[in-house]
Amino acid sequence: MVIDFSASWCGPCKFMEPVLNGMAAKFTEVQFVKLDVDELPDVAQEFGVQGMPTFVLLKKGKEVDRVVGAQKNDLEKKIEKHRDLVAAT
């Protein structure tokens, strides 16, 4: 699972939205979830989110990796690296 912590006012988050849609189409075995930090601040705090966008990769409810910022290449590499792990969530 990939959790996208973003905000409606965040420019880099808007930039990443079509990128994430493309990754969701490419990595169909991985679940992508988008969370607005303004709507769910407790969840963002629980994951220690300090900047947006933050992408947290989970396996069985535990974090296996994360990317902070609109780093599409880094995110895709980490999803590729962990795809078997992430898909097993």
Give the model confidence (pLDDT) of 60-69 as tens digits: 889 999 999 9
pLDDT at 88 over 60: no
Amino acid at 8: S
Say if residues 58 and 64 touch (Cβ distance below 8 Å): yes
CATH superfamily to which 2-83 belongs:
Glutaredoxin (3.40.30.10)
Instruction: Locate the domains of the chain by residue range.
Output: 2-83
Catalytic (active-site) positions: 10, 13
The CA distances from residue 26 to 5, 18, 20, 71, 83, in Å, are 20, 12, 10, 17, 11
pLDDT at 34: 96
Distance from C-alpha of 85 to C-alpha of 14, rounded to nearest angstrom: 27
pTM, entire model:
0.90
Q: Which amino acid is located at 7 in the chain?
A: A
